Amino acid sequence: MNNFLTVIGAGLAGSEAAWQAAERGVKVILYEMRPVTATPAHKTENCAELVCSNSLGNNLAYSAPFILKEELRSFNSIIIDSGDNNSVPAGSALAVDRDLFAQEVTAKLSNHPNITIKREEVVEIPPEGPVIIATGPLTSPRLSDQISKLIGQEYLYFYDALSPIVNAATIDYDKAFFASRYDKGDADYLNCPMNVSQYYEFVRELKASDKVSLSSFEKPIYFEGCMPIEVLAERGDRTLAFGPLKPVGLPDPKTGTLAHAVVQLRRENKESSAFNLVGFQTKLTYPEQKRIFSKIPGLENAEFFRFGAIHRNTYINSPSLLNNELELLSRPGTYFAGQVTGVEGYVESSAMGLLASLSAVAKIMGTVYKPPPADTALGALLNYITLSRKQGFQPMNINFGLFWVQEMKIKDKKMRNQKIATNAMEKLKAWKDGMATLAQP
Ligand SMILES: Cc1cc2nc3c(=O)[nH]c(=O)nc-3n(C[C@H](O)[C@H](O)[C@H](O)COP(=O)(O)OP(=O)(O)OC[C@H]3O[C@@H](n4cnc5c(N)ncnc54)[C@H](O)[C@@H]3O)c2cc1C
C-alpha cells in the first residue's frame, strides 16, 4: 500500500477527493486527461468543469440538497466553498459563474503543496492503492475497458434513463389502486387509471411540452425499451395506450371495467415510502414534468422526490461491487467516487469524493474511519448506492426518499424537512467527533 493517494479524474468528485486528502497532510497524485485527451462534453482544461447547468442545486434551507451541501460545508468542501465564493443570483438555487468557479478549484488544487496534477489519460488502473477512480459519466473508452475487465462487463452500464419518483404519502388513493396485471403475483403496482379525455389531453400536453435539448453525442442512445415517453407520444396518439400505459389486465376495482389507459407506479424502497412511474424516462424539463405529470389521476398533489432524465452515463453496479467505504470488494485499496458510483449530480458526485477520500486517508494514516450514519444526507446517499437492490440499480440524486427516518411520517412537509435537517446535522457532528483527527485537517 502506497503512502500517497492516487486520484484519477479531476472533475467534481476527484477534485474533492484530492483536496480532502491533501488538507489532511496526505500527498496526492491527481490525474486529469484534459486537455491532452478530450471528453465529448467538457470544453476547458479546468478541474471541476460543470458540463451542463451552472447550478449546484437547491440551496433552500432544509431541502434535501441543502442538507447535503451543509454537510459538505462542514468539511470545508472545495466544491461547495468555491461555489459559495462564485455564486450568481438564482433564486433558491446555488448557481455559480462556471468559469470563475472552475478556475478557483483549479488554482486551489494546483497551488496545494501536497497535490501534483498530471495531465494524462490513465489507461491502466494502478495495481498499488489507495487509488480513487473518479472519471465520471464520460470515462475514457480505454479506461472503461479496464474497469470492465476489473469488475466484469455485466456490472458496467453506459446509459441512464431515470423515471420520476413520487412521495407515496402524497398520492390520492381514492383514485389510484393496487393491482398486478391479470392478478399475477402480489398486487405490487399502484395504478392510476385515465379516461378517454384525460388520456388525450395528456398526450397533447406531452407533444407540446418543453424538452431539454440533447447534446449531439447523446443522440444515438435510445433503444426501444428506453424511449422517452414524449417520443412515444409523438409516434401516434394511441401509442402510449398500447405501450407503457396499456390498461389490459388492470380493471379498476371501483368500476370493474378497464380504463382507457393506466399509469403504473412501482415501489421504490422496502418501506414503500416512494414510487416510480414505470416507463416515464423523459427529456421534459423539470417544471414541465411537474405540470404535466400532476395531471395523472391520483398524482394531482404528488410531491416529486426526483424528476425523470435520460443522458449518457458510465456507472457501475455499486451494490454488487463496493463496500460501505466505496472500496472495491474484490480489490481493497481501489475506490470509486462520483457519478461512476451511481449517484446523480454535481454535489452528489463531490460528496462521494469526500467519503472515498476519508476512507483512503484513514488507511494511509492508520486511523479509524467509520461511514456516516444513515440519517445524514451523506449516509443516505451512501446507503443508496451500496445497499440498494443489485438488479435494476439506477443512479440517484439526494432526496428525502432516501432518508430512512421516522420523521418521514410527519405530514407537514415543512416541519418534516426541518426535523430531518436538524437531526442530520446533529448526527453528522457526532459522527465527525467520533473520528478525531480524520474529521478536521
Ligand atoms: C452531458 C451531461 C450533462 C450533465 N448535466 C448535469 C447538470 O446539469 N447538473 C448536474 O448536477 N449534473 C449533471 N450531470 C451529471 C454529473 O453530475 C456530472 O457529470 C458531474 O460532473 C459528475 O462528476 P464526476 O466527478 O463524477 O465526473 P466529471 O466531473 O465528469 O469528472 C471526471 C473527470 O475525469 C476525467 N477523465 C475521464 N477519463 C479519464 C482517464 N482515463 N484518465 C484521466 N482522466 C479522465 C474527465 O476529463 C473529467 O475531468 C451531467 C452529466 C452529463 C454526462
**Residue owning the nearest CA to atom 35 of ligand 1:** 9
Please choose from 79, 339, 357 the residue to mutate so as to test ligand 1's pocket, defined by most ligand atoms within 8 A of CB: 339
Q: Which amino acid is at 192?
A: C
Please choose, from the candidates 97, 142, 107, the residue with its C-alpha nearest in 3D space to the C-alpha of residue 121: 142
Query: Could you write out the three-class secondary structure of 317-333?
Result: CHHHHECCCCEECCCCC
Question: What pLDDT score was predicted for residue 155?
Answer: 84
Report whether residue 51 contacts ligand 1, using a CB cutoff of 6 Å.
yes
Report whether residue 135 contacts ligand 1, using a CB cutoff of 6 Å.
yes
| Alpha carbons 109 and 116: distance in angstroms, whole number | 8
Give the containing element (helix H, strand E) for 315.
strand 309-316
User: Distance from the CA of 8 to the center of ligand 1, in angstroms?
Assistant: 12
Domains of the chain: 5-161+311-438 (3.50.50.60), 165-307 (2.40.30)
Closest ligand 1 atom to the C-alpha of 13? 25
Closest ligand 1 atom to the C-alpha of 140? 38
Please choose from 12, 54, 399 the residue to mutate so as to test ligand 1's pocket, defined by most ligand atoms within 8 A of CB: 12
Asked if pLDDT for residue 224 goes beyond 60, the answer is no
Looking only at the bridges linking them, the beta strands covering 93-96 and 5-8 are: unpaired
Write the pLDDT tens digit of every residue in 29-86: 999 999 999 998 898 999 999 987 889 999 999 999 999 999 999 999 999 999 999 9
Question: What pLDDT score was predicted for residue 220?
Answer: 47
Report whether residue 351 contacts ligand 1, using a CB cutoff of 6 Å.
no
Q: Which amino acid is at 360?
A: A
Record the cell numbers describing residue 88, joined without a space.
Answer: 450568481
Question: What pLDDT score was predicted for residue 223?
Answer: 53
User: Distance from the CA of 134 to the center of ligand 1, in angstroms?
Assistant: 9
Please choose from 43, 51, 131, 147 the residue to mutate so as to test ligand 1's pocket, defined by most ligand atoms within 8 A of CB: 51
Record the cell numbers describing residue 204, joined without a space.
Answer: 397533447
Write the pLDDT tens digit of every residue in 349-388: 999 999 999 999 999 999 989 999 999 999 999 999 999 9
Please choose, from the candidates 217, 211, 216, 345, the residue with its C-alpha nearest in 3D space to the C-alpha of residue 282: 211
User: Distance from the CA of 51 to the center of ligand 1, in angstroms?
Assistant: 7
Question: What pLDDT score was predicted for residue 52?
Answer: 78
3-state DSSP call for residue 70? helix
Q: Which residue did the predictor score with more confidence, 92 or 330? A: 330
3-state DSSP call for residue 312? strand
Res. 153 pLDDT band, cuts 50 70 90? confident
- Do 22 and 112 touch, CB atoms closer than 8 A? yes
pLDDT more than 70, % of the chain: 96
Write the pLDDT tens digit of every residue in 299-350: 999 999 999 988 778 999 999 999 999 999 999 999 999 999 999 999 999 9
Query: What Cα–Cα distance (Å) separates residue 131 from each residue in 7, 17, 110, 126, 353?
Result: 6, 10, 19, 7, 12
**Can you tell me the mean pLDDT for 239-259?**
94
